[in-house]
Structure 1
Amino acid sequence: MSTLNRNDHIACHECDLLLSRPVISGDEVVYCPRCGSRLISSHPNSVERSLALALAGLILLLPANLFPVLTLEVLGRQQAQTIFSSAMALYDDNLPVVALCILLFAALVPLTKFVLLTYLSLALHLQKPWPGLALAMRGYQHLDEWSMLEVYLIGVLVSVVKLVDIAEVHPGLGLYSLGTLILVTTLSSSQLDPDLFWHQIEALSEDVTKKEFADE
């Protein structure tokens, strides 16, 4: 009796219809014949692009968090604000929850996302069955819904509009880095092919299992 190879089949994420895995290339998109939902799409060089974008994101996180986002000048006095200093200012104003949200969603969550994406894409690029790949993939997909850099940037822009009449506002390197980081984050989410990543993770896992049985 033949066994069902998971790598040769795919299940619809909406209606659980089991289908033979189609071979696609270019910018092709496959839809479920039962419910019409998007099944898989092709992202050429998804692993390599994800690795490059993850490394770029890790690099941009440094200036985005360490350099001033805005510098305010009032009556000859200047005050620079970074993401961390703005969170500390909110904490000092008895808003610890808001301060914690800024640190989590503007710094820690993006950092964790790019670390996980670097780990995943580098392992798949090198075809190395590193431990915890499936867990890292699930963690990345979960955190992808919680990155809120855009919300922080909108808050900064609103502050600029409100303060421009009472103070001189000078955008800093942190603001430009933050804008570029948001672009890189958006590109990394759009270029990642979840089906391809899961397919290769399962293939590496099966290779390890076969090797263990062979050694026994």
Structure 2
Amino acid sequence: MTEAVPDSRIACHECDLLMQRPEIHGDQVVHCPRCGSRLISSHPNSAERSLALALAGLILLVPANLFPVLTLEVLGREQQQTIFSSAMALYQDGLALVALAVLLFAIMVPLLKLVLLAYVAGALHLQTPWPGLSLAMRSYQHLDQWGMLEVYLIAVLVSVVKLVDIATVHPGLGLYSLSALIAVTTLSSSQLDPDLFWHQIDDLNKSSLVQETFDE
């Protein structure tokens, strides 16, 4: 049985122009010759960088959610606020949809994004065709548009400005962890090379099919 030849073509996601895949060396950006949209943004060791950033983000998620983001002191009384407790406070105030949005886009979506990125990058780093790689990569790219940790951080900063006149506000470890988490997730998105990931996933899937055929 002859070995499958990897597809050397690439299609523009904006104008559907089909062209030969160019040779990429080091940090390079390839644009479509017809519409000018970015086709490839190459980063050396993209899988290893993405895996390291995903693991760092998963570690930072723990203190960002467990430790208080802010501590308010009013007339000698202290009240600590975490991301989860702020969502519960919104729910108790009758803002159920806003509370659900905070839970989804400040906790669940970032967690799922980092887990999917670690799964895909880990498989590519180990060159192992783990099940569901294509679905995991596709889901990550969809969820990458819905991470709103930056919006939550801006809301926290606005709250600090409004509360500083009536209470003493102390930033907590959760705020610093959240800021670091935002930096890590932003960096992971910028360092990800989608074209390389999809190309390697396709190669792994093809090699897995060939191996299964030989085993049969």
Query: Which interval holds the TM-score relative to the shorter structure?
Result: over 0.9
- 1:98-177 to structure 2, matched below 5 A, reads 98-177=98-177
* 2: CA distance, partners of 1:33 / 1:5: 26
Equivalent residue letter for 1:157: L
Deviations along 1:158-201, one digit per CA (max 9) or x if unpaired, are 00000001100000000000000000010000000000000000
SS in 2 for 1:63: helix
Match of 2:94 in 1: 94
Match of 2:61 in 1: 61
Q: How many residues align?
A: 213
SS in 2 for 1:128: coil
Give 5+ residue unaligned stretches, structure 2.
none
- With 46-55 and 12-21 compared, the bigger mean Cα shift is at 12-21
Q: CA deviation at 1:13?
A: 0.9
Match of 1:84 in 2: 84
Q: CA deviation at 1:144?
A: 0.2
Counterpart contact for 2:43–2:192, Cα < 8 Å: yes
Equivalent residue letter for 1:185: T
Equivalent residue letter for 1:63: P
* 1: CA distance, partners of 2:156 / 2:37: 37
Q: CA deviation at 1:6?
A: 5.2
SS in 2 for 1:7: coil
Match of 1:46 in 2: 46
Equivalent residue letter for 1:102: V
Counterpart contact for 1:69–1:174, Cα < 8 Å: yes
Q: CA deviation at 1:34?
A: 1.8
- With 192-201 and 6-15 compared, the bigger mean Cα shift is at 6-15
Counterpart contact for 1:7–1:202, Cα < 8 Å: no
Counterpart contact for 1:7–1:203, Cα < 8 Å: no
1:185 aligns with 2:185: yes
Give 5+ residue unaligned stretches, structure 1.
none
Q: CA deviation at 1:5?
A: 4.8
1:211 aligns with 2:191: no
Deviations along 1:64-102, one digit per CA (max 9) or x if unpaired, are 000000000000000000001100011110111100100
Counterpart contact for 1:32–1:39, Cα < 8 Å: yes
Deviations along 1:143-165, one digit per CA (max 9) or x if unpaired, are 00000000000000000000001
SS in 1 for 2:7: helix
Sequence identity percentage? 76
TM (normalized to structure 2)? 0.96
* 2: CA distance, partners of 1:6 / 1:189: 26
Q: CA deviation at 1:42?
A: 1.1
